[in-house]
Each structure stands twice: as structure tokens, then as C-alpha cells.
């Protein structure tokens, strides 16, 4: 049976899959599960934030209505990055937080994700409890038990002060272009970078509710690369729609991905004696070159399945301080409970400033093996793990690549596709193997 919750909350096309009715019922169920037994004789409190998608307006109204009707006091945070909502859940001592966003997905999509007390993502078991509570209707609050709704006028300011306050070395003298993806970072990211000392050029900072992520941000870097070169900037920063990601562009227009950013930050923390247990947590999608570089630097690597929630779980269980994904989700637990694109950008730029080195020089911390990723759409991703033909093709490819490469076939957790990833010593070889495997996926998993 398919879980209601995916790898990053409940997602779908807003108004079709993710309706106002579902949002209301889901928030009522969450109100019954998340506060636990902590509230005897008092109302629990939740914070609710959203990215600027047009559908976020009606979904926010439904979530707030559901929570208040279930006896939860609600503080509306407005349009903010996902990590800001996580931070403010803890900073405002809320019992849980709700974020409405579909991250890097296009504008018609939206999602609902929950943070528990302290701003932490929920474990699978708690999400399953919320899903189960949907099937067990309960009476709403009445009289003085009804939740009250207020707006936080200073939510963005509190978050900006927090992230800027973590910067170990000012950004004075750096010119930075920031691509806000027409999303939740549009107001806070440029302001935070300026306060940290950078000369900031903004790009795609004009959200209208319908243009979020459209040909911009961390999944479309061409505009940022051109702007960095055109403005003679030292670096470019790209967020996604809810700003939990950060990718970067060096002065020459070359892309610095999440693996390279993690490598740079790992060395910074390692040298400062603040990399807990001298360990970096990554996913199976990270480039083999990162693992080799960390081994050479004396840093242990812990590997998890794809998804920042799994990185976070491993970090919490092991007491580690740095982890993330190649896509730009980077978690610095000394300062955040989840991936934070703005925090990551500030610390990356701080490393540049402190060392006095260009970003492309810092990125040489690792040598990336050629890696090819093909997203195969329109196939039955649920059958990917049980396909004998695909398993046989993968085994043959792995034998062919030997120790100089690897293969990863992964159904997407948030989109209807199967991802085929191949690493090899030569890029042409990686392309050849990836195309071959993608062909097997299309043929064997075709939806009839």
C-alpha cells in the first residue's frame, strides 16, 4: 500500500491531489498526534509558513482552519524558506511546525511537511500515525478550547539575524549573485548576504505565485552562470523554491555542486576542530570523488539512502555535525535542524573570504568522476526494484565498470520517474552505460 507521506511530506498537484479538504483533515490529524501528552489543561501551539506558490494561499487557509478547529493556537509566519520555519519552530518554542511547499517542483505542485518540537523532521512512524488518524474522525474543540490565530510580523527578521550570526568570517569584498528561484528566498537571502558584508546582485527575485522555479534556481543554472561572469562576481548562489538547497557558481561560470560544497565545509570544520567525530554524512548519489577526497583528509564518510530525511536521521543517531546531498541540501547541525540553503551559502562564502581563495580553487578539494544521470519518465517506478531484466542489466554494467565506477537505479521519491545514475572513469563510457540501462528501464517498466 502506498504511503500518504513521501520522502518529503505529502505532495501532489494542488487542487487535484492535494486538495483543501485533505489539507484541513491532515492538519486536524497532525494536531491529534504531534503534541502528545504534553498539553494537559493548555492549548498546543504551531507555526505555519509557506513558499510563494499561489496554491499556498488556499492551502495555508485550510491548514490554519484545521489546526485551530482542533484546539491548536496558530502563528502564521508568512512566506519564508523551509529552514526558517524549522528554525522558528524551535526558537518560538512551538510544539510543531507546518511548511507548505513543493521545493524545486513547478508551480502547480505543492506539499505539506511537518516539523516536530525543536524543528526536526518527523520519523516515518510518526507520519504513519498522522495518516492513520485521518481515518478516525474526532470532535473539534469548542468554546475556549478553540485555537487562536495570530501573525508573526518579525519572522523573517528573526531568521536573518540567526543565520548571519553564525558566520565565522565576514564576506566583505565579495561580490555575489544570488538566484532566488522566484521563491521563498527572494526577500531574506539577499538581505542576509548584504548584512554579512557581501556586495549582492539579485536574480529571479520577483515571485508572482506562478513563476516559482521556472527556468531558474538550483535546477536551471544558465542564467546564474551568465550573470556571475557578466557582473564580474566572485561567486553565484542558487536556491530552489523553498531555499533548502544551495548550489554555487565560481567566477569563471563553472558549477560547484553539493558534493564540492560539502567537501569545502567538511575541511573548514575539520581544521577548526568542529566536525563532530570527523565524519561527513552523504547519500548514495554523492560522487565517488568526494569519498576519496575525504578519506585522504582523514574524514570518515557515512552513506545513507537518497533523501535529506535519511541524512538527518543518520546525523541525529550518530551525533554528526555535517551532511547532505549532491543536489545542494546541506545540513549543518551546529546551527540548523534541516537543510538550509542560505546558511550553506553564508558558510561557503565565509570559507572563501577566510582563505582568500577563489571558489573554483576551493572546489578542487575533490576530483569528480564523470557521472551521468538520466531521468526516465512515464514508467512504473514501483516495479523498478522487482524487475529481473533490470537487475540482470545492472549486474552486467557493474561487472563492466569494475572498481572504477558504479551504477545506481532509484525510483524518485517525489516525482513519477526512475533515475539512472552511472559513474565511470571516462565520461563517454558513463554515457554509454547510462543510456543502455535507461533503455532497459523504458522497455521493461513501460506503463501499459
Binding-site residues for Mg(2+), please? 103, 240, 242, 244
Cα–Cα distance, 244 to 220 (Å, whole number): 16
Strands 300-304 and 279-283: what pairing? Answer: parallel
Task: Count the neighbouring beta carbons within 10 Å of the beta carbon of residue 8.
Answer: 22
**Cα-Cα-Cα-Cα dihedral of 289, 291, 296, 302, to 10°?**
170
Phi, psi angles (nearest 5°) of residue 312: -60, -40
Candidates 55, 69, 103, 189; catalytic one: 103
Binding-site annotation: residue ranges: 103, 240, 242, 244
Task: Count the neighbouring beta carbons within 10 Å of the beta carbon of residue 25.
Answer: 17
CA angle 197, 200, 206 (to 5 degrees): 135
Is 350 assigned a catalytic role? Answer: no
Active site residues: 103
Amino acid at each position: 500500500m502506498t504511503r500518504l507521506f513521501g520522502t518529503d511530506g505529502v505532495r501532489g498537484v494542488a487542487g487535484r491531489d492535494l486538495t483543501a479538504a485533505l489539507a484541513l483533515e491532515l492538519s486536524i490529524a497532525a494536531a491529534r498526534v504531534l503534541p502528545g501528552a504534553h498539553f494537559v489543561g493548555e492549548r498546543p501551539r504551531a507555526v505555519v509558513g509557506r513558499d510563494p506558490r499561489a496554491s499556498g494561499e488556499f492551502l495555508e487557509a485550510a491548514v490554519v482552519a484545521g489546526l485551530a478547529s482542533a484546539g491548536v493556537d496558530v502563528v502564521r509566519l508568512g512566506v519564508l524558506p523551509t529552514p526558517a520555519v524549522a528554525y522558528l519552530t524551535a526558537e518560538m518554542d512551538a510544539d510543531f511546525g507546518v511548511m507548505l511547499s513543493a521545493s524545486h517542483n513547478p508551480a502547480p505542485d505543492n506539499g505539506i511537511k511537518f516539523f516536530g518540537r525543536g524543528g526536526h523532521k518527523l520519523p516515518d512512524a510518526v507520519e504513519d500515525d498522522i495518516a492513520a488518524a485521518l481515518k478516525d474522525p474526532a470532535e473539534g474543540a469548542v468554546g475556549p478550547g478553540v485555537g487562536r490565530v495570530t501573525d508573526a510580523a518579525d519572522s523573517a527578521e528573526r531568521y536573518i539575524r540567526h543565520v548571519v550570526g553564525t558566520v565565522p568570517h565576514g564576506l566583505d569584498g565579495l561580490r555575489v549573485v544570488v538566484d532566488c528561484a522566484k521563491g521563498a528566498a527572494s526577500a531574506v537571502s539577499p538581505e542576509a548576504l548584504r548584512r554579512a558584508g557581501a556586495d549582492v546582485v539579485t536574480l529571479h527575485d520577483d515571485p508572482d505565485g506562478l513563476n516559482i522555479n521556472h527556468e531558474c534556481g538550483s535546477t536551471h543554472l544558465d542564467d546564474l552562470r551568465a550573470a556571475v561572469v557578466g557582473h564580474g562576481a566572485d561567486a553565484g548562489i542558487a536556491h530552489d523554491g523553498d531555499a533548502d538547497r544551495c548550489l554555487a557558481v565560481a567566477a569563471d561560470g563553472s558549477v560547484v555542486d553539493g558534493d564540492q560544497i560539502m567537501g569545502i565545509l567538511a575541511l573548514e570544520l575539520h581544521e577548526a576542530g568542529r566536525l563532530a567525530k570527523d565524519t561527513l554524512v552523504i547519500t548514495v548519489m554523492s560522487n565517488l570523488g568526494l569519498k576519496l577526497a575525504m578519506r585522504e583528509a582523514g574524514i570518515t564518510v557515512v552513506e545513507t539512502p537518497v533523501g535529506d530525511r535519511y541524512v538527518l536521521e543518520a546525523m541525529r543517531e550518530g551525533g554528526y555535525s555535517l551532511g547532505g546531498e549532491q543536489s545542494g541540501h546541506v545540513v549543518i547541525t551546529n546551527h540548523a535542524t534541516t537543510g538550509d540553503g542560505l546558511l550553506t551559502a553564508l558558510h561557503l562564502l565565509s570559507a572563501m573570504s577566510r582563505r582568500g581563495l577563489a571558489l573554483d580553487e576551493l572546489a578542487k578539494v575533490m576530483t569528480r568522476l564523470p557521472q551521468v544521470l538520466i531521468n526516465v519518465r512515464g514508467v512504473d517506478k514501483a516495479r523498478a526494484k522487482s524487475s529481473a531484466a533490470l537487475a540482470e542489466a545492472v549486474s552486467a554494467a557493474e561487472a563492466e565498470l569494475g572498481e572504477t565506477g558504479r551504477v545506481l537505479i532509484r525510483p524518485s521519491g517525489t516525482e513519477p520517474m526512475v533515475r539512472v545514475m552511472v559513474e565511470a572513469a571516462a565520461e563517454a563510457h558513463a554515457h554509454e552505460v547510462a543510456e543502455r540501462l535507461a533503455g532497459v528501464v523504458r522497455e521493461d517498466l513501460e506503463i501499459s
